[in-house]
């Protein structure tokens, strides 16, 4: 009997130990990632100034010139455009679903959002090539008198906006559902109409949450690789308009990494691009999530 | 039983002589198959404090909110019957629902100040009614804050967010906010349940002062509170009205066995 | 009120009403457009994929090289993806389940620590998969490992680990402290409480977490791009490079040869169907789960 109890206790102790080890290991993943990327990109930073790398637009890796500006601008253009398209759609739909929609629409929308969130990036890319690219080159660009193949910044932004819709919408739904019903009841009982309540109370209350949802959406969009890569054109020069091809940072890494390892500087440059991505995404995430937490504390 | 004696009311108020403010007939409310309110018929006397009593989960709050048509917010709720206020059936009348609600101030279990400044919380209702002149607003806001005995505490910080107030102050702010739309009825849903004893007392005192100008309907499950301030009691149990009548009679001469059991404290 | 201000009041009321009608219409439109986009995606995948789908497509590997050969199918990618996702999901499960249990049982009284851990996991979830892929590949080169199934499994499992832990954690979080205490009071150790009581209580949510992670790992392209490589053959050991469905779509779609492209469309259809099945079955699970769950 004593032996059984003892072995149970030992088992318990052992389990606790290796679980602690795993947990600590997970704590270290982001640090490891950052440290590794810094180590790798330091080779390039040794004889190129960071400022020059970020402001130069000449990308000639074989002759040792690494200007990241075209990629940074493409990335920013694509993500900001995507957010401008997806943001209002998500906000409107979230208010609709939490305030006005009847049960039937909710029952349809829940699996729709689930499936959209689950579809792989590459499927969105295929859809982009089948639908968006011809749509841009045949319908939209001619409206502005522009001839294009359709593989453009705007195509990337459109595909990306569809991809982040389920992501942002899910967060917004949580935020609007978390607002107590009694607050709305208070406003309604003062004689406000439902719309007045939404406009002056609900949106005001949800505002910090909405901002963070958009921030999270932006950071999600920023790191998206394959789908954008498939429709955005991938030309390494600064895009002069939204109907021009672009070359975002993730696409740069995906397209070139693995083949160029024989050139240490090139390898290092791509790692620097990955480091950019990592830092920007973590920074955006951090700010948005801290905002949400602070907001929840204030209104809890 | 000492705490339950209704000392102030020496003369028992008889139901039939008092003009009625709210009259509910055969009100039924269902959510899907759940029958929340079963065939409710009650009347609320004018300028008195009517207390809806009952164990939790018996439909008190739902009854209160249906008077205000806040039940509209939940599309699943199916409401049938008649709710008349001053002889106007608010469930079926063509009047704008916002005008109906404006006639009733609402206090909920916890204070829910609107996410804006103290000043704007009270101006909110006034602005909806189309009052936008600054001088008028300031005068009214002062008036209602004094009426809710909050003025002295907040007069120097009107522009601060309402959430910076203590919870007791917030509840009084909600009262002032409700009074500002000039209602003739105050609906209160356990307004003191989240408050400390002193703040609760203040709210109760306020109600006793206000009942001359307003018809007050208050939900509570605290027997002593009901005994302290009620003029008229509606007792509910499991979605039905078991007994209603003047407080004096309710507490001293309950008619049904369930009421007696509740007053003894064996139902809760 | 004066007459003028009364007019203004009604004017304002009418304009608010008009505003509401306008916004309600745009809101409904927004929701509808989201549904429409999903239908459009599924329609376009079906329209291109169905004609390309055949028995040969599903049962043969590409003949004559995946990029040029006109014959053969996508069996290499289907099998490869299943190997990879099964491996990565199991690995993430083996690490993730104990960690989630650890957070909710051993650390259940250190709320601050657990919450900051959740915060870090959420941050990890936000890191783009291309970063995991590139970093993983660098490490693999450092240790002299070539693109292989095992490399892919490790990198993908790291990438889905935060998702796995957080999904299980959400389920554990919602089950009550009372249950843990009841188990302790019967004399169970923490380990027994964790693996016998909590796991049973949260089994449906654990299954949902596994399905979710499986879906993520089978669909992600950027993390396997360098780490598993691509090949025409079905791998026979962990050290061989492996084809995956996302990459099979990505590479073959860029080919000018229509037969090769049709392989990409077929792969897209297969992948979509897999994701749909996962999505719907996890939905069924959560619905059933809510019905049968005992609430404390």
| Cα C192 from Cα C195, distance rounded (Å) | 5
Helices (H), chain A: 2-47, 50-55, 69-95, 103-118, 121-127, 133-135, 141-143, 153-178, 181-189, 194-197, 203-223, 226-231, 249-256, 264-299
Q: Which residue has the tokens 């693109």?
A: C147
| Cα B176 from Cα B219, distance rounded (Å) | 19
Q: CA-nearest residue of chain C to B129? A: C9
Q: Is the pLDDT at C66 greater than 70, yes or no?
A: yes
Which token pair is A236?
């390494």
Q: Which pLDDT value is given to residue B253? A: 85
Q: Which residue has the tokens 């304002």?
A: C12
Residues C12 and C106 grouped into a single domain: no
Q: Which pLDDT value is given to residue C283? A: 81
CATH level 3 topology of B2-103+184-264: Rossmann fold (3.40.50)
Q: State the best of A226, A248, A268, A271 to mutate against chain C, taking most chain C CBs within 10 Å.
A: A226
Q: Which pLDDT value is given to residue C289? A: 59
Which token pair is C72?
């053969």
Cβ-Cβ contacts under 8 Å between A and B: the total is 71
Tens-digit pLDDT profile for residues A28-71: 888 888 888 898 888 888 887 788 888 888 888 777 788 888 89
- Contact, C34 vs A165, CB < 8 A? yes
Q: Which residues of chain B approach chain C closer than 8 Å at the C-beta?
A: 129-132
Tens-digit pLDDT profile for residues B166-193: 888 898 899 899 888 888 899 999 888 8
CATH code for the domain in which residue C135 is found: 1.10.3720.10
Paired with B40 in beta bridges are: B27
| Cα C29 from Cα A92, distance rounded (Å) | 9
| Cα A166 from Cα C34, distance rounded (Å) | 9
Q: How far is B228 from chain A (nearest CA, A)?
A: 27
Residues C212 and C242 grouped into a single domain: yes
Which token pair is A61?
């890796």
| Whole-angstrom Cα Rg for chain B | 19
| Cα A176 from Cα A98, distance rounded (Å) | 7
* Cβ atoms within 10 Å of C145's Cβ, excluding its own: 16
Question: A92 and C124 in contact by Cβ < 8 A?
Answer: no
Helices (H), C65-109: 75-101
Q: How far is CA A22 from CA A15, A16, A33, A60, C121, in A?
A: 11, 10, 17, 43, 13
**CB-CB neighbors (< 8 A) of A161 in chain C:** none
Q: Is the pLDDT at C88 greater than 90, yes or no?
A: yes
User: pLDDT band for position B10 (50/70/90)?
Assistant: very low
Count how many domains chain C has.
Answer: 2
Paired with B233 in beta bridges are: B51, B245
Residues 68-87 of B with CB under 8 A from A: 68, 70, 73, 75-76
Q: CA-nearest residue of chain C to A198? A: C20
* E-assigned strand segments in B160-199: 185-189
Residues C154 and C24 grouped into a single domain: no
DSSP state of B232: E
DSSP helix/strand/coil, C229: coil
Q: Which pLDDT value is given to residue C205? A: 83
| Cα A27 from Cα C99, distance rounded (Å) | 11
- Contact, B191 vs B109, CB < 8 A? yes
DSSP helix/strand/coil, C210: helix
- Contact, A194 vs A188, CB < 8 A? yes
Residues 73-92 of A with CB under 8 A from C: 88-90, 92
Q: Which pLDDT value is given to residue A298? A: 60
Residues C46 and C77 grouped into a single domain: no
Domain residue spans in chain A?
2-47, 54-299
* Contact with chain C for residue A28, Cβ under 8 A: no
Closest to C267 measured CA to CA, from C254, C253, C280:
C253
Q: Which pLDDT value is given to residue B47? A: 87
Residues C31 and C128 grouped into a single domain: no
Which token pair is A270?
């791509």
Which token pair is A130?
């089948």
Closest to B24 measured CA to CA, from B73, B70, B74, B90:
B90
Q: How far is CA A196 from CA A201, B129, B169, C7, in A?
A: 8, 12, 26, 19
Tens-digit pLDDT profile for residues B76-133: 888 888 888 888 888 877 778 888 888 888 888 888 998 888 999 999 988 888 878 8
Residues C21 and C126 grouped into a single domain: no
Domain residue spans in chain B?
2-103+184-264, 110-182
Question: B129 and C9 in contact by Cβ < 8 A?
Answer: yes
**CB-CB neighbors (< 8 A) of B130 in chain C:** 1, 5-6, 8-9, 12
Tens-digit pLDDT profile for residues C90-123: 999 988 888 888 888 777 777 788 888 888 888 8
Which token pair is A214?
């958009």
Q: Which residues contact A279 (CB under 8 A, 6 or more apart)?
A: A34
Residues C160 and C30 grouped into a single domain: no
Which token pair is C249?
């779509």
Angle at A274 between CA A272 and CA A280, to 5 degrees: 100
Q: State the best of A119, A172, A196 to mutate against chain C, taking most chain C CBs within 10 Å.
A: A119
- Contact, B84 vs B25, CB < 8 A? yes
Q: Is the pLDDT at A15 greater than 90, yes or no?
A: no
Residues C152 and C212 grouped into a single domain: yes
Q: Which residue has the tokens 């917010």?
A: B73
Closest to C146 measured CA to CA, from C25, C242, C263, C273:
C242
Q: Which pLDDT value is given to residue C176? A: 62
Least confident piece of the model among A278-282, B63-67, B120-124, C192-196: C192-196
- What is the share, in percent, of chain C residues with pLDDT greater than 90? 24
DSSP run (H or E) holding B23: strand B20-31
Q: CA-nearest residue of chain B to C10? A: B130
- What is the share, in percent, of chain A residues with pLDDT greater than 90? 32
| Cα A236 from Cα A220, distance rounded (Å) | 23
Residues 93-152 of A with CB under 8 A from C: 93, 95-97, 100-101, 105, 108-116, 118-127, 129-131
Paired with B236 in beta bridges are: B241
Q: How far is B127 from chain C (nearest CA, A)?
A: 9
Angle at B207 between CA B206 and CA B209, to 5 degrees: 65
The mean predicted confidence, pLDDT, of chain A is 86
DSSP run (H or E) holding A202: none
**Partner chains of B (3+ C-beta pairs under 8 Å):** A, C
**CB-CB neighbors (< 8 A) of C5 in chain B:** 130, 132
Paired with B44 in beta bridges are: B22
Q: Which residue has the tokens 């792969």?
A: C267
User: pLDDT band for position C31 (50/70/90)?
Assistant: very high
Q: Is the pLDDT at A27 greater than 50, yes or no?
A: yes
| Cα A259 from Cα B51, distance rounded (Å) | 80
- Contact, A186 vs B115, CB < 8 A? no
Tens-digit pLDDT profile for residues A163-202: 999 999 999 998 898 888 889 889 998 888 889 999 999 9
Residues C116 and C80 grouped into a single domain: yes
* E-assigned strand segments in B32-115: 34-45, 49-53, 77-85, 88-89, 104-107
Closest to A190 (Cβ–Cβ): which among B65, B108, B177?
B177
| Cα A106 from Cα A118, distance rounded (Å) | 18
| Cα A186 from Cα C39, distance rounded (Å) | 40
* Contact with chain A for residue C277, Cβ under 8 A: no
Q: Is the pLDDT at B1 greater than 50, yes or no?
A: no
| Cα A234 from Cα A71, distance rounded (Å) | 9
Which token pair is C4?
């003028």
Rounded to a whole number of angstroms, the distance between the first and last alpha carbons of chain C is 57
The packing angle between helices A203-223 and C111-126, to 10°, is 50
Work out the average pLDDT over B38-64: 87
| Cα B81 from Cα B66, distance rounded (Å) | 11
Least confident piece of the model among A188-202, C148-162, C281-295: C281-295
Angle at B42 between CA B78 and CA B90, to 5 degrees: 50
| Cα C109 from Cα A248, distance rounded (Å) | 45
Q: Which pLDDT value is given to residue B252? A: 87
Q: Which residues contact B177 (CB under 8 A, 6 or more apart)?
A: A186, A190, B105, B113, B114, B121, B122, B124, B125, B144
Q: Which pairing describes strands B215-220 and B232-237: parallel, antiparallel, or unpaired?
A: unpaired
| Cα A221 from Cα C284, distance rounded (Å) | 29
Paired with B37 in beta bridges are: B29
Residues C48 and C61 grouped into a single domain: no
- Contact, B70 vs A189, CB < 8 A? yes
Residues C18 and C79 grouped into a single domain: no
Query: C37, C52, C67: which is the final residue of a domain?
Result: C52
- What is the share, in percent, of chain C residues with pLDDT greater than 70? 93
Q: Is the pLDDT at C295 greater than 70, yes or no?
A: no
Owning domain of residue C40? 3-52
CATH for A54-299 is: 1.10.3720.10
- If you write DSSP's letter for every residue of C238-254 in order, what string do you get? TTS----HHHHHHHHHT
| Cα A165 from Cα A176, distance rounded (Å) | 16
- Contact, A238 vs A252, CB < 8 A? no
The mean predicted confidence, pLDDT, of chain C is 84
């Amino acid at each position: 009997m004593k032996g059984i109890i003892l072995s149970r206790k030992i088992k318990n102790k052992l389990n606790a130990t290796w679980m602690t080890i795993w947990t600590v290991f997970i704590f270290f993943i982001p640090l490891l990632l950052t440290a590794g990327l810094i180590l790798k990109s330091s080779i390039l930073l040794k004889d190129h100034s960071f400022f020059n790398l970020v402001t130069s637009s000449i990308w000639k890796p074989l002759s040792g010139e690494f200007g990241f500006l075209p990629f940074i601008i493409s990335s920013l253009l694509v993500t900001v455009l995507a957010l401008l398209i997806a943001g209002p759609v998500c906000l409107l739909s979230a208010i609709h679903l939490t305030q006005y929609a009847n049960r039937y629409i909710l029952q349809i929308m829940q699996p729709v959002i689930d499936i959209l969130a689950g579809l792989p990036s590459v499927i969105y890319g295929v859809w982009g090539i089948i639908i968006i690219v011809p749509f841009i080159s045949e319908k939209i660009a001619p409206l502005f008198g522009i001839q294009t193949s359709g593989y453009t910044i705007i195509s990337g932004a459109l595909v990306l906006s569809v991809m982040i819709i389920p992501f942002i919408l899910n967060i917004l739904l949580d935020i609007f559902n978390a607002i107590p019903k009694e607050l709305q009841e208070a406003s309604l009982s003062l004689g406000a109409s439902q719309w007045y309540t939404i406009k002056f109370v609900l949106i005001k209350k949800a505002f910090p949450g909405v901002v963070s949802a958009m921030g999270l959406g932006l950071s999600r969009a920023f790191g998206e690789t394959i789908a954008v890569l498939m429709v955005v054109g991938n030309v390494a020069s600064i895009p002069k308009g939204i109907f021009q091809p672009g070359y975002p940072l993730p696409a740069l890494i995906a397209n070139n990494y693995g083949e160029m390892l024989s050139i240490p500087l090139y390898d290092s440059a791509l790692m620097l691009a990955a480091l950019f991505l990592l830092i920007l995404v973590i920074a955006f995430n951090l700010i948005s999530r801290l905002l949400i937490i602070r907001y929840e504390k204030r209104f809890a | 039983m000492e705490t339950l004696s209704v000392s102030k009311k020496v003369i028992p108020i008889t139901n039939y002589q008092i003009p009625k403010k709210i009259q509910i007939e055969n009100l039924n409310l269902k959510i899907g198959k759940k029958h929340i309110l079963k065939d409710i018929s009650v009347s609320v006397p004018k300028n008195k404090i009517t207390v809806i009593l009952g164990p939790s989960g018996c439909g008190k709050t739902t009854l209160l909110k249906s008077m205000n048509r806040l039940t509209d917010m939940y599309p699943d709720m199916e409401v049938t019957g008649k709710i008349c206020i001053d002889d106007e059936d608010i469930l079926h009348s063509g009047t704008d629902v916002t005008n109906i609600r404006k006639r009733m101030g609402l206090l909920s279990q916890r204070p829910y100040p609107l996410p804006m400044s103290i000043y704007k919380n009270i101006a909110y209702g006034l602005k909806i009614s189309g009052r936008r002149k600054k001088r008028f607003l300031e005068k009214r806001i002062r008036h209602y804050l004094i009426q809710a005995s909050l003025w002295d505490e907040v007069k120097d910080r009107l522009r601060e967010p309402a959430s910076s107030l203590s919870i007791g102050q917030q509840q009084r702010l909600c009262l002032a906010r409700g009074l500002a739309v000039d209602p003739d009825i105050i609906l209160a849903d356990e307004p003191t349940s989240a408050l400390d004893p002193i703040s609760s007392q203040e709210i109760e005192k306020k109600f006793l002062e206000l009942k001359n100008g307003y018809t007050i309907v208050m939900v509570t499950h605290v027997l002593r509170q009901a005994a302290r301030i009620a003029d008229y009691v509606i007792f509910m149990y499991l979605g039905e009205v078991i007994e209603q009548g003047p407080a004096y009679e309710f507490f001293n001469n309950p008619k049904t066995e369930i009421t007696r059991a509740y007053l003894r404290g064996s139902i809760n | 009120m004066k007459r003028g201000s009364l007019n203004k009041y009604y004017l304002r009321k009418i304009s608010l009403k008009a505003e509401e009608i306008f916004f309600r219409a745009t809101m409904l439109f927004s929701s509808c457009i989201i549904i429409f986009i999903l239908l459009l995606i599924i329609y376009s995948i079906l329209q291109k994929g169905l004609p390309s789908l055949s028995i040969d497509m599903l049962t043969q590997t590409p003949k004559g090289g995946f990029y040029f050969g006109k014959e053969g199918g996508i069996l290499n990618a289907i099998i490869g993806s299943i190997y990879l996702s099964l491996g990565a999901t199991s690995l993430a499960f083996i690490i993730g389940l104990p960690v989630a249990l650890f957070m909710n049982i051993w650390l259940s009284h250190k709320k601050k620590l657990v919450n900051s851990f959740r915060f870090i996991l959420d941050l990890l979830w936000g890191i783009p998969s291309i970063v995991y892929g590139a970093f993983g590949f660098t490490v693999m080169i450092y240790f002299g490992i070539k693109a292989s199934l095992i490399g892919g499994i490790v990198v993908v499992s790291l990438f889905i680990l935060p998702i796995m832990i957080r999904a299980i954690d959400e389920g554990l979080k919602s089950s009550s402290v009372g249950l843990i205490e009841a188990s302790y009071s019967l004399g169970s150790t923490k380990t027994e409480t964790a693996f016998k009581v909590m796991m049973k209580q949260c089994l449906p949510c654990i299954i949902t977490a596994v399905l979710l992670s499986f879906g993520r790992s089978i669909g992600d392209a950027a993390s396997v791009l360098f780490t598993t490589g691509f090949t025409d053959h079905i791998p026979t050991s962990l050290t061989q490079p492996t084809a995956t469905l996302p990459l099979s779509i990505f590479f073959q779609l860029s080919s000018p040869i229509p037969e090769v492209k049709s392989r990409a469309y077929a792969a897209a259809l297969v992948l979509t169907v897999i994701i749909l099945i996962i999505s719907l079955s996890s939905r069924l699970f959560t619905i059933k789960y809510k019905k049968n769950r005992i609430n404390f």
